[in-house]
Structure 1
Amino acid sequence: MSLFNVYPLFDITPVSAKDLYVYDENNVEYLDLYGGHAVISIGHSHPKYVSAISNQVEKLGFYSNAIQNPLQVKLADKLEALSGCKDYQLFLCNSGAEANENALKLASFHNGKKKVLAFKNSFHGRTSATVAATDNPKIVAPINAQQEVDFLELGDLDAVETVLKQNETCAVIVEFIQGVGGLDQSTTEFYQGLDKLCKQYNTSLIADEVQSGFGRTGDFFAYQKHNITPDIISMAKGMGNGFPVGGILIHPSIKASYGLLGTTFGGNHLACAATLSVLDVLEEEKLMKNAKNISDYFQEKAKSLPNLKSIKGRGLMLGLEFKFPISELRKKLIFDHHIFTGSAKNPNLLRILPPLTIQKKHIDLFFDATCKVLKTL
C-alpha cells in the first residue's frame, strides 16, 4: 500500500532527538529551529516528559471520558495557576483544528448565531468550520464552503463593526500573531476594540493560541499582552511537546450541559501526563523568561543581516522577512548547514519556532550559517 501523497518531503529521516538536536539514520546532527511546526516546546526527549509518559502508560494508558480522571482535574488546576486564566473551564481534545472546531461550535451553541468572522491570511485548521475560516481557498472543499465566513483585513475595526451589527456572527476568531500567514499582528488598540465590539454585539471572541500559546511568545498566551478577555481560548501544538493534545479554555459566562461537546481520545491519561510535564518544565526552567531573553538576542543579531526587510513576531515565534524568496536559503540551511527552519504563506519569510530551551549558542550557529548562505545567493 502506498501513502496518500499530500506532503512534499525533504529527504531526511530522523530516528532520534535530544533537546535542540535531531539525528537522522546516518547519525547526522540537525539543529532544530522549527520544532515540528512549534510543537516541541520543552525540547526533544526531555527527561521529565519521557518519565511522565513512561510511568503513566505502565499504569493506565487510556480509558474513556465516561469515568473519573483525576489527571484532568490536576491539569486544569495547574493550567489555571500558570496561565493566569482564572475561573475558565477546560475541555480537552486532540489537536489544534479540533480545538478551534469545538470553539466555533460552542460559540454558535452559546449565542444561537451561525456566521464566522475571520481575518485575511488566517490559518485555523483543516476540519469543517476551521478550514472555512482559513484564508486559503485551495484547501477549502465544496462541502466546507457552505460555512458562511467573512474575511476582513486585520486591524480594520470599522469593517468588523459593520459585520457584527448585522447580528448573524457567532464568533470572531483571531490569531494574535498569525502563524502560517506570516507572523503579522495588529495593535493593542485594535485587539481591545475587537474585544469591546464582540461584547457589544453578543459575539464570542475566540483567541486562537494553537501556535502562540504555552509560553512561546514569552507570555503564556499571546493575547495577554493586550489586556483583554477572550470568551474561548484554543490551544494545542506546544501543549504536549509532541504528544497529540489540544483543548479550549471557556469563559464562565458560557455554560456546560451534558453532551454539548464530546471526544473519545481527548484528555486521555497519557495526554494529561504529557501536558502536566510540559507545564512543570515551563515553570521550573523559567522557559517563558528564556523565550523573552533569547528573542531580544535574536532580534539584535538579525539587524546585521543583508537584504533583510523586517523582523516579525514576538518571543520565540519569529520571522525574518527578506527582499527575496527564501526557498533556496531554507534548503541550503537544511542540507549544507543541517539547520531546520520553516516557511510561510509569505514566500519571503523564514520562520523560526525553536524549542523554548534554546540558548544563545544556538542562535549564534544559526546566524553564522545564514550569513554564509546569503553570501552565496
Structure 2
Amino acid sequence: MSLFNVYPLFDITPVKAVDVFVYDENNTKYLDLYGGHAVISIGHSHPKYVAAISDQVAKLGFYSNSIQNPLQVQLADKLEQLSGCTDYELFLCNSGAEANENALKLASFHNGKKKVVAFKNGFHGRTSAAVAATDNTKIIAPINAQQEVEILELGDLEAVEKALAKNDVCAVIIECIQGVGGLDESTAAFYEGVDVLCKKYNTCFIADEVQSGFGRTGDFFAFQKYNVTPDIISIAKGMGNGFPIGGILIHPNIKASFGLLGTTFGGNHLACVASSTVLEVIEEEHLMQNAKDISAYFIEKAKGISAVKNIKGRGLMLGLEFDFPISELRKKLIFEHKIFTGSAKNPNLLRILPPLTIKKEHVDLLFEALKSELQG
C-alpha cells in the first residue's frame, strides 16, 4: 500500500536525535532549529523524559477515562503552578486541532451562540470548525465551509465590536503571535480591547497557544504579555515533546457537566507522564529564561545580516523576513549547512522554532551559514 501523497518531502530520513541535533540514516548530523513545528520543547531524547515514559509504559500505557487517573490530576496541578493560570480547569485531548475544536464547541455550549470570529493569516487546525476558522481557503472543504466564521484584519478593533454587537458570536479565537501565518503580532491595546469586548458581549475569548505555549515565547503563554483573561486556552505542540497530547484550560465561569466533552485517547497515562516531565524539565533547567536570553542574542546577531529586513516574534518563536522568497535559502541551509528551519504562509519568512534548550553556539552556526549564503 502506498502513502496518501499530501506532503512534499525533503530527501532526509532521520533515525535518531539528541537535544538540538537530528541524525539521518547515514549518521549525518543536522542542527534542528524547527523542532518539528515547535513540538520539541525540552530537546530530543531528554534522558529524564525517556526514563519517565519508559517506566510508565512498563506499568500501564493506557486505560479509558471511565476510571481514576491520578496522572491527569498531577499534570493539571503542575500546569497550574508553572503557568500561573490559577483556578482554570483542564480537559485533555490529543492535538492542537482537537484542542481548538473542543474550545470552539465548549464556547458554543456555554453561551448558546454559533458564529466564530477569527483573523487574517490565523491558523487553528485542519478539522471541522478549527479549519473553518483558519485563513486558508485551500484547506477548507465544502463540509467545513458551512461553519459560520467571520475572518477580520488582525488589529481592527472596530471590526471586532461590529461583529460582536450582532450578539451571535460564540467565540473570538486568536493567536497572540501567529504561527503558520508568519509571526504577526498586534498591539496590547488590540488584545486587551478584544478581551473587554468579549466580556461585554458574552463571547468567549479563546487564546490559541498551541504553538506559542509551554514557554516558547519566554512567558509560559504568549497572551501573558497583555492584561487579558482568556475564557479558554488551547495547548498542544510543545506540551508533550513529541508525544501526541493537547488540551484546553477552561476558566471557572464555564461549568462542566457529564458528557459535555469526551475523548478516548486524551489524557492517557503515557501522555500525562510525557507532559508532566516536560513541565518539570522546563522548570528545573530554567528554559523559559533561556528562551529570553537566547532570543536577545539571536536578535542581536540578526541585526548584523543586512539582507534581513525584519525580525519577528518573541522568545524562541522567531522569524527572519527577507525581500525575496526563502524557499531556495531554506534548501541550502538543509542540504549544504545541515540546518533545519521552517517556512510560513509569508513566502519571505524563515521561521525559527528550536528546542528551548538551544545555546548561543547553535545560534552562531545559523548566522555563519546565513552570512556565507547572503554575503553580508
Q: Deviations over 1:276-329 (max 9, x none)?
A: 100000000000000000000000000011221100000000000001110010
Query: Match of 2:120, as an amino acid?
Result: K
Per the alignment, residue 309 of structure 2 pairs with 309
Per the alignment, residue 194 of structure 1 pairs with 194
2:273 aligned with 1:268: no
2:99 aligned with 1:99: yes
Q: Deviations over 1:179-219 (max 9, x none)?
A: 00000000111110000000000000000000000000000
SS at match of 2:90: strand
Unaligned ranges ≥5, structure 2:
none
Query: Match of 1:239, as an amino acid?
Result: M
Per the alignment, residue 16 of structure 1 pairs with 16
2:62 aligned with 1:62: yes
Query: Match of 2:254, as an amino acid?
Result: I
Per the alignment, residue 78 of structure 1 pairs with 78
Moved over 2 A (4+): none
SS at match of 1:143: helix
Q: How many residue pairs are counted as aligned between the two chains?
A: 376
2:335 aligned with 1:341: no
Q: Deviations over 1:95-134 (max 9, x none)?
A: 0000000000000000000000000000000000000000
User: How many Å separate the matches in 1 of 2:306 and 2:223?
Assistant: 32
Per the alignment, residue 87 of structure 2 pairs with 87
Query: Match of 2:64, as an amino acid?
Result: S
Deviates further, 195-204 or 303-312: 303-312
Provide the TM-score with structure 2 as the length reference. Answer: 1.00
Per the alignment, residue 30 of structure 1 pairs with 30
Unaligned ranges ≥5, structure 1:
none
Per the alignment, residue 286 of structure 2 pairs with 286
Per the alignment, residue 173 of structure 1 pairs with 173
User: How many Å separate the matches in 1 of 2:60 and 2:39?
Assistant: 25
User: How many Å separate the matches in 2 of 1:161 and 1:122?
Assistant: 19
User: How many Å separate the matches in 1 of 2:345 and 2:292?
Assistant: 25
Per the alignment, residue 248 of structure 1 pairs with 248
Residue 374 of structure 1: CA displacement? 1.4
User: How many Å separate the matches in 2 of 1:95 and 1:221?
Assistant: 17
Q: Deviations over 1:229-248 (max 9, x none)?
A: 00000000000000000000
SS at match of 1:176: coil
Q: Deviations over 1:312-353 (max 9, x none)?
A: 000000000001110010000000000000000000000000
Identity of aligned residues (%): 80
User: How many Å separate the matches in 2 of 1:177 and 1:368?
Assistant: 27
Q: Deviations over 1:357-376 (max 9, x none)?
A: 00000000110011111139
User: How many Å separate the matches in 2 of 1:37 and 1:307?
Assistant: 25
Residue 227 of structure 1: CA displacement? 1.9
Per the alignment, residue 213 of structure 2 pairs with 213
Instruction: List aligned pairs for 1:111-130, cutoff 5 A.
Output: 111-130=111-130
Residue 47 of structure 1: CA displacement? 0.4
Per the alignment, residue 359 of structure 2 pairs with 359
SS at match of 1:308: coil
Per the alignment, residue 3 of structure 1 pairs with 3
User: How many Å separate the matches in 2 of 1:136 and 1:355?
Assistant: 28
